[in-house]
Amino acid sequence: MSKGFDNKMAPPAPAPQREVATGTCVLGPTLHFKGELYGEEDLEFQGQLEGSIEHTRSLSIGKDGGVTGNIRAKFVIVEGRVDGDIFATESVSIRASAKVKGNIFAPRVGIADGANFSGSIDMNHKGAAAGTRPATVQVTLSDPAAERLLTKAAG
Contact residues: other proteins, CB under 8 A: 23, 25-41, 43, 47, 51
CB 56 → other proteins: shortest distance, Å? Answer: 8
CB 106 → other proteins: shortest distance, Å? Answer: 22
CB 53 within 8 Å of CB 35: no
Cβ nearer to other proteins, comparing 50 with 122: 50
Sign of CA dihedral 86, 65, 63, 25: positive
101, β-bridge pairs? 83, 118
Cβ nearer to other proteins, comparing 32 with 108: 32
Cβ nearer to other proteins, comparing 73 with 109: 73
21 burial class (0-12, 13-18, 19+ CB within 10 angstroms)?
Answer: exposed
100, β-bridge pairs? 82, 117
CB 62 → other proteins: shortest distance, Å? Answer: 12
Cα(31)–Cα(12) distance, integer angstroms: 39
Cβ nearer to other proteins, comparing 39 with 119: 39
CB 93 → other proteins: shortest distance, Å? Answer: 22
